[in-house]
Structure 1
Amino acid sequence: MQHYGFIKTALGIPFSNPGDLHTNTEKIIALSIEAFNNGSSIILFPELSITGYTCQDLFSNSIIIQKTIESIITIKNKTKFTDIIITVGAPLIWNNGLYNCAVVIQSGKILGIVPKIFLAQYREFYEARWFKSGLGIKNQHIPIDGEMICFGTETLFRNSKNPAMVIGIEICEDVWTSSPPSGTLAENGATIILNLSASNIIIGKDLYRRKLIEMQSARLIAAYLYCNTSAAESTTDLVFDGDGLIYENGILLSQSERFLRKDQLLYADIDLELLTHERTKITSFPSSSDNFNSIDFSQQRKTFELTRLYAKHPFVPANNDLLHNRCKEIFTIQATGLAKRLETTQCKAVIGLSGGLDSTLALLVTIKAMKLLNKNPQTEIIPITMPGFGTTTMTRNAVEKLCDELAIPLLQYPIHDISNTMFDTIEHPRDTHDITYENIQARSRTYILMSIANKHNGIVIGTGDLSELALGWSTYNGDHISMYNVNSSIPKTLVKYLINEISQTEFDGHAREILSDILTFPISPELLPTSGNTVVQKTEDVIGPYELHDFFLYYFVRWGFTPEKIKCITNKTFSDIYSEDEISQWLTVFIKRFFTSQWKRDCVPAGPKVGSIDLSPRGSWRMSAEMSINDFLF
């Protein structure tokens, strides 16, 4: 999987007793080999994992010092057939001082040793009693097994075969300070931060600790592996919980079972390509060229099964509370944006209603905007329904019932005559139901909306959503055009949830029932002739499932994934719904439509950005309409 930017990482949390160096060492070796066999490129162990954290005054005992060196040699010798990066904690002597260190081992060699900088010396902590700080130590050496091993802070470990894999190390208390070493490590290129920790547990500390690691990972746009010592440590005064965390750019990928009374090994697939892409996009992310020590290592590409899970609907939070808050926030952003435009223009709002999801959401947003301005929606909103050849009684009745329930007068302007006039004018057969037939109807509706807006001093409220913009699923100078589009950054997969949330919080009674009915309607432009209540034209039958297109959109625009990588993770995520051939088919449709529709997006109307993706040429997305598609097809 490394050719897609993924590497598998592991945390080893041995249930080891303090002072039992032989057993601790054997467990470290066993867990390292298991992680290697499972495809891991890195395994991280807790702080002072060879000796245990609670040896206290015995840390400086000659037996502990001697056995620690022997354990390091044993680990490197017994794992030399692997190329996994093993990082263990150990007390080591340099220049008449004892240091709390991280020892990095690979392929039978000790790559380097990094000492802890910030020693915990307050309340229950007495680290300065035993250890010296590594602050200011650079490019020194410690002799081990006949070799001089690089020793010092400001050290980076770089994979010569994977430039995106750059490892930086800090130890426990380092991350709790106001200026953690990981900050400068990341600025100098580290994409993966390893933290060997021995952090005792008290009430509430686990939540604070996780927030701390989460925010550090997000701030650094880095993977952050945090490995805390287990409950096997001495409990004379303190208890440890074995909290293991793997974050990527602020997202929790894996966590241990706390207080587990046995060895624990957990994994997470890190996407280094995602991290480097995000750092490249965030131009304010600092890049430094400090005189850091760089230790190169070589690691072969590994084949492993991707275990990382992806949400099928990345725009829709899986947690109900988060979804509720997200929908509420988005709705408020939409309404606030429109309210400012209405306040500035001193205009009424003209909106076309089809009985579909998008126009219904736009109406609800417009009502909220009027309320924010202390204006009466019943007099300031002009809803218009424009039934055509494909309009069903189902959607038409829904529009009429909704406006009646909301006491907002509804104007009706059928488009049959104006469309037939245009068919005849350009000599297009009325029974030829092609793209011209459909687009004439769409432009007829826009012509009516714009004309009514002129007549009543109004602005036309756009209803097209983000997914339609991405796919170019709109008629140029038809539904593509408005004077302010409140849905321009709302993906199709989120629209239903927004309407449902609004109906539950802003309305009651019959209005809520009507909105619930609208949520069940199939997505259709209703442009092809129908006889009554049968929808003969379903959008997803033509362009593919919106849940796939929104998934493609998210990873193509937000994270810059290649189509091949998108296909890989889509196959894994949607294997229970779509075949690989179907996914390839619709991904090809997405790529082709996305590239060939940029000229439409070059002149979309204004609208509020509500999430991480919008396609406004004035906002987050700038792309040449003539961009070649060749290298993006697979």
Structure 2
Amino acid sequence: MGHLAVLATCSLNQWALDFEGNAERIIESIRIAKEAGASLRVGPELEITGYGCLDHFLEGDTYLHSWEILAKIIAHEDCQDILLDIGMPIGHKNIRYNCRVIAHNKRILLIRPKIYLANDGNYREMRYFTGWGRTKYVEEYYLPRIIMTITGQRKVPFGDAAISTLDTCIAPETCEEMFTPNSPHIGMSLDGIEIMTNSSGSHHELRKLQTRIELMTEATKKCGGIYLYANQQGCDGDRLYYDGSAMIGINGKIVAQGTQFSLQDVEVITATVDLEEVRSFRFAPSRGVQAVQNTPYQRIEVDISISAPSDRAEISLKPTPTIDIRYHSPEEEIALGPACWLWDYLRRCGGVSGYFLPLSGGIDSCATATIVHSMCRLVHEACENGEEQVIKDARRVCGEPEESTWVPRTPQELAGRIFHTCFMGTKNSSADTRARAKELADAIGAYHIDLDMDFLVKAVTDLFSLVTGKRPQFRVHGGTKTENLALQNIQARLRMVLAYLFAQLLPWCRGKQGGLLVLGSANVDECLRGYMTKYDCSSADINPIGGISKTDLKRFISYATAKFNLPILHSFLTAIPTAELEPITSTYVQSDEADMGFTYDELSTFGQLRKNHKLGPWSAFNRLLHEWGDRMSPRAIATKTRNFFYYYAINRHKMTVLTPAYHAEQYSPDDNRFDLRPFLYPPFSWPFRKIEETVAAINAREKMD
């Protein structure tokens, strides 16, 4: 029998600046951990404030309220007799830090500031915080009076240190630090620290969880040790969805894993681990050579034990066995991540009673509607499982009185009350798209309306003709490119006006309170290419597919056809993608890919080269010569490259009004903070000239051969 300890970590659905709600969820997680017999509870990064406060981290109020909430937590009767690892921002010597506070029985043992800050992609931590930068360095922090009155302490250690208990040693690292080449856990393990914690605010991105788990298991696969990973879970007020997956590992093996997508506000996982397993794992001579050369951490001593007393351990405890890690397929991630994000957004948006979606009969709006159906399925399942918070939120969103006992009997019943769809047809719409939209709405239970807006389009064009004396014509009727584009855009923009009108008044028509949030349905590839009308029906309140590629959306629809038993989805997959903004003739049907000059797969490739691989036009062209050279001529590759960057540049301004979208792809063009590039570009004349010279040289060599 070794030294057995029950440890707890958690995923919390925190909300930026919801200090009271965040405190309740933290206390509840501590309560659950204690009931499971845990001696250590680890929470997510910045859990007191929520991670996504953005520039509110520059405000003194945020730091004051954080201390006030911490005081409430550490003084709470349910938060005693357990070692607590809590995340919050702290100001020290007029510098802002992202910190962990280690506390036990109304005493603060250590404040550990984050050493390495996340500052790429969606993260701008250096805008708000300063990295500690001084590893294994500790100084004194003078506590605010509100804390002094509770702890009786005037000052506490502040810096990179470890907690030494009677039976083991514990030290924290925070989120980004696990991703760095020389992670703190390396030095920690060499210094004999046996339990390492990681508190994160890590967002969901398709196929990202594998990377995170590989890094976590690798942290102890070579070094040995126990690793506790905590994470935020849910939408805390922005485009990101934090995808939980709290985990506990030992010596490179996972023994506990939480859910990646969940409607629960508090999820706590526990595991019983044997400290002796760590010690025997580390008894390797080569490790010993490096360990004796390692500079030590300052240890903060505390007279408590993490492991259970031997008599209790012999009776009731045994080590938690290794588990198989659970991964969702990308199709499942699309079904679950945006659905959970939509539910959080809806339940936290005051005065809102549901969603409105312009349902065109195309695959993008179909995917959006299917994600809402997935949301309804998750909510219905949670209600059936008796999850009180979900039931309470569902009743409130549906306008039920507080004393109501109503719960949705099916996902369709819920959708009928909160999801509204509308087919906005014109004479350019086909009967097929109209029928597909209605059949899908019926299958998922949405409240659907069908309208024709030709008279509205005619009224606007008649007004233009009255004022100017000119009447624009479509290209198929002899009009110019300019006329043709203007006539398409007016249809799209009028749909946006109608969407917001119906979103505001449909609940009123049905005798309900509140308005509806308008959903957009432009995918990441169309945004990247700019194949969308500015201020059209893709301009909405939020967009669940705006960060997802067309390729992944098609796979998702194929998956959902069988998973959700929606055979109507198959017809969306086989239909040619079309905007249906031009007249259909016997010889012409508008096609998205023909209009764009790219397939959606090609757009995905350019998006990845531009953002993920950080390639400009010249480097992208050279890379594609190798990747596409076996099926496309240098001239064709050059044309594709020039056209992509040309259209990307002239349409970049559209990203300044892009609907806030669920973040899912690394090459998202969202210019709000993920893709910080200009929206007014000069011509790419220099790289384009180099591309042309290269094509000419290749052609000349081929003629000589």
- TM superposition score normalised by structure 2: 0.42
Instruction: Answer with 1 or 2: which has the greater Rg.
Output: 1
**TM-score w.r.t. length of structure 1:** 0.46
Decide which structure has greater helix share: 2
